[in-house]
């Protein structure tokens, strides 16, 4: 079974257990992402405004301080659960 098939089966199984109002919110959110969010995604080579983010240790790091040392590669990952 392919990943797409497994995900489709999981969606079907989950949808059957979900209240209709929850399903409606999720479907709306997915629709919004597909219609609007894809145009706002950061793409390779994009220039970003100045920002400050926390690093893996929770320390604030500004883009300006990093850029002072040369080009910056920004890797976004999901944080703590």
* Chain Cα centroid distance, residue 41: 9
**Overall pTM surpassing 0.75 (yes/no):** no
Token look-up 């209240």 returns 19
User: What stretches of 1-81 show up as alpha helix (H) in DSSP?
Assistant: 3-17, 20-35, 63-67
Q: Is 62 helix (H, G, I), strand (E, B) or coil?
A: strand
Q: Where are the domains of the chain?
A: 3-40
pLDDT tens digits for range 3-45: 999 999 998 888 889 898 998 998 999 898 888 887 788 888 8
pLDDT tens digits for range 45-80: 888 899 998 988 999 999 999 999 999 887 777 666
According to DSSP, residue 37 is labeled G
Tally Cβ neighbours within 10 Å of residue 50. Answer: 8
């Amino acid at each position: 079974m392919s990943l797409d098939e497994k995900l489709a089966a999981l969606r079907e199984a989950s949808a059957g257990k979900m209240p209709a109002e929850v399903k409606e919110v999720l479907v709306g959110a997915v629709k919004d992402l597909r219609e609007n969010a894809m145009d706002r995604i950061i793409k390779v080579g994009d220039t970003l405004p100045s920002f400050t983010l926390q690093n893996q240790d929770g320390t604030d790091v500004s883009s300006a301080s990093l850029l002072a040392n040369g080009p910056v590669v920004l890797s976004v990952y999901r944080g703590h659960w």
